[in-house]
């Protein structure tokens, strides 16, 4: 892996922002010391894999302007640069994804199947028998360009069993950390959602080509789009990831791999005025104010859906 990400130097860091030895805080300090060494062990592992320098971030040694830092701490894994911090946090989506809310998501409207084909059930918020229940007979989806997993989480809330593929190793690590923290967290409803998510290694194209035809009912594509224009707020949110992500160089290859897997439906997220992915006209579109979802229903399927 290259030591440069854009004009930044990739650096692996472990954060140490506590003092040891104070008698009144001895127990708390010991726990933090153990957490620090656990984080450092992980940091050393990835620094070795990526060929990146390993530093310890303290008040005396803060992040530097020329660094893109993958930070390990007791709070998990985060990406730092330009005074910004990016760490996955699925909990902030709970308000949108409670029962009665997720149905309004444009992605869910695009991913919807006819009732006769719908075997997945929406997640229950009850902490009783439905807690972390498996859904072996539910609809399967592949998020082939997972990023930080936010769209996959929406699909999981709607009852899909979701597999996520992310080819960038750093984003993959951030996503893995987000899923792990959600599985170990206190939010029962969130644990339900992520229990139906599985992270795949590497580029999604080989996975789609090797899949048994029809294994996924839905394939979701959201490739980075070079001409995509965002508001200042959205730009700030994704700016750190743009040091890592690269625009899709062969959209046709990505789309053809998705088609070769023979899903019932392919959903593609696009800028509102952007061109069709791979030049292929969709079966129908779902339009919003800034984005749209293009839906391709392959010829072997009969559900044509409804566009707006």
* Section 52-67 average pLDDT: 92
Class of domain 90-296: alpha beta
Burial label for 303, CB within 10 Å (0-12, 13-18, 19+), is middle
- pLDDT at residue 248 in the model: 60
Give the chain as a 3 state SS string. CCCEECCEEEEEEEECCCCCCCHHHHHHHHHHHHHHHHHHHHHHHHHHHHCCCEEEECCCCCCCCCEEEEEEECCEEEEEECCEEECCCHHHHHHHHCCCCHHHCHHHHHHCCCHHHCCCCCCCCCCCCCCCCCCCCCCEEEECCCCCCHHHHHHHHCCCEEEEEECCHHHHHHHHHHHHHHHHCCCHHHHHHHHCEEEEECCHHHHHHHCCCCCCCEEEECCCCCCCCCCHHHHHHHHHHHCCCCCCCCHHHHHHHHHHCCCCEEEEEEECCCCCHHHCCCCEEEECCCEEEEEECCCCCCCCCCCC
Which pLDDT band, with edges at 50, 70 and 90, does 237 fall under? low
- pLDDT at residue 251 in the model: 87
- pLDDT at residue 127 in the model: 42
- When comparing pLDDT for 14 and 8, which is higher? 14
pTM for this one? 0.84
- pLDDT at residue 134 in the model: 36
Whether 120 has a pLDDT exceeding 60, the answer reads no
Which pLDDT band, with edges at 50, 70 and 90, does 24 fall under? very low
* Section 229-235 average pLDDT: 49
Annotated binding site for S-adenosyl-L-methionine: 222
Whether 118 has a pLDDT exceeding 90, the answer reads no
Mean pLDDT of all residues belonging to the chain: 83
- pLDDT at residue 135 in the model: 43
Domain borders along the chain are 4-86, 90-296
- pLDDT at residue 25 in the model: 59
């Amino acid at each position: 892996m290259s030591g440069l990400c854009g004009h930044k130097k990739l650096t692996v860091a472990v954060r140490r922002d506590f003092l040891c030895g104070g008698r009144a805080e001895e127990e708390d300090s010991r726990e933090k010391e153990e957490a620090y060494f656990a984080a450092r062990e992980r940091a050393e592992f990835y620094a070795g894999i990526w060929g990146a320098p390993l530093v310890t971030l303290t008040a005396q040694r803060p992040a530097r302007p020329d660094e893109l830092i993958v930070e390990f701490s007791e709070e998990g894994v985060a990406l730092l640069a330009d005074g910004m911090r990016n760490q996955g946090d699925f909990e902030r989506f709970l308000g949108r994804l409670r029962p009665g809310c997720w149905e309004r998501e444009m992605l869910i409207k695009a991913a919807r199947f006819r009732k006769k084909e719908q075997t997945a059930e929406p997640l229950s918020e009850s902490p009783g028998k439905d807690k972390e229940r498996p859904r072996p007979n539910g609809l399967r989806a592949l998020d082939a360009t997972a990023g930080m997993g936010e769209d996959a989480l929406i699909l999981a809330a709607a009852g899909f069993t979701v597999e996520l593929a992310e080819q960038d190793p750093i984003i993959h690590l951030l996503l893995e950390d987000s899923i792990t923290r959600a599985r170990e967290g206190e939010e029962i409803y969130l644990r339900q959602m992520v229990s139906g998510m599985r992270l795949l290694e590497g580029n999604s194209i080989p996975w789609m080509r090797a899949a048994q035809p029809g294994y996924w009912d839905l394939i979701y594509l959201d490739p980075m789009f070079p001409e995509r224009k965002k508001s200042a707020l959205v730009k700030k949110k994704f700016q750190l990831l743009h040091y890592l992500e690269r625009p899709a160089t062969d959209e046709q290859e990505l789309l053809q791999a998705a088609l070769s897997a023979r899903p019932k439906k392919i959903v593609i997220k696009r800028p509102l005025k952007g061109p069709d992915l791979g030049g292929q006209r969709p079966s129908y579109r779902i339009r919003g104010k800034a984005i749209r979802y293009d839906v391709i229903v392959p010829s072997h399927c009969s559900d044509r859906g409804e566009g707006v």
